[in-house]
């Protein structure tokens, strides 16, 4: 079971259903992904709720005027069956730079742009636009 793919699907479905918020179980990977999505302005905000047995992350989705979603697409690139790795100079760009690639590097999760600047390659987790 791929929890990262489930997480991205919950966000994608939330935008498709025009929901204001979505709630997911918390993990270190999901928390780092949410921080990147917020810094890149794909989501409005997030909060962490203490709960037993697993904490929850409530994500406030971001919409533009006239109800247009901030996210039009999310694609999981590296899967549990096929891992996709890229060197720093081969990190794919999404829509000629309009979207974001998220990379898992030795320094943690970061955007493709930040990984290129730091000359770090790694596993391509997903692309969002």
Let me know: does 128 contact 100? Beta carbons within 8 Å.
Answer: yes
* pLDDT tens, residue order, the chain (129 aa): 789 999 999 999 999 999 999 999 999 999 999 999 999 999 999 999 998 899 999 999 999 988 899 999 999 999 989 999 999 999 999 998 889 999 999 999 999 999 999 999 999 999 999
The residues spanned by each domain of the chain are 3-67, 74-128
Find all residues with CB under 8 Å of 73, minimum gap 6, and list them.
Answer: 12, 99, 128, 129
Look up the pTM and report it.
0.91
Let me know: does 76 contact 126? Beta carbons within 8 Å.
Answer: yes
**What CATH number was assigned to the domain covering residues 3-67?**
3.30.1370.30
CATH class, 74-128 region: alpha beta
Q: How many CB atoms lie within 10 A of CB 100?
A: 23
Q: How far apart are CA 118 and CA 83, in angstroms?
A: 22
Q: How many CB atoms lie within 10 A of CB 42?
A: 22
Question: What value does the CA radius of gyration of the chain take, rounded to a whole number of Å?
Answer: 15
């Amino acid at each position: 079971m791929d929890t990262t793919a489930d997480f991205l699907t919950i966000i994608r479905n939330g935008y498709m259903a025009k929901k204001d918020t979505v709630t997911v179980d918390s993990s270190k990977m999901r928390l780092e992904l949410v921080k990147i999505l917020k810094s890149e302005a794909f989501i409005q905000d997030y909060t962490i709720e203490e709960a037993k047995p697993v904490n929850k992350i409530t994500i406030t989705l971001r919409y533009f005027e006239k109800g247009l979603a901030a996210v039009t697409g999310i694609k999981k690139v590296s899967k549990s069956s096929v891992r996709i790795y890229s060197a720093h100079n081969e990190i794919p760009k999404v829509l000629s730079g309009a979207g974001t690639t998220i990379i898992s590097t030795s320094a943690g999760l970061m955007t493709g742009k930040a990984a290129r600047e730091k000359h770090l390659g790694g596993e391509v987790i997903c692309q969002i636009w």
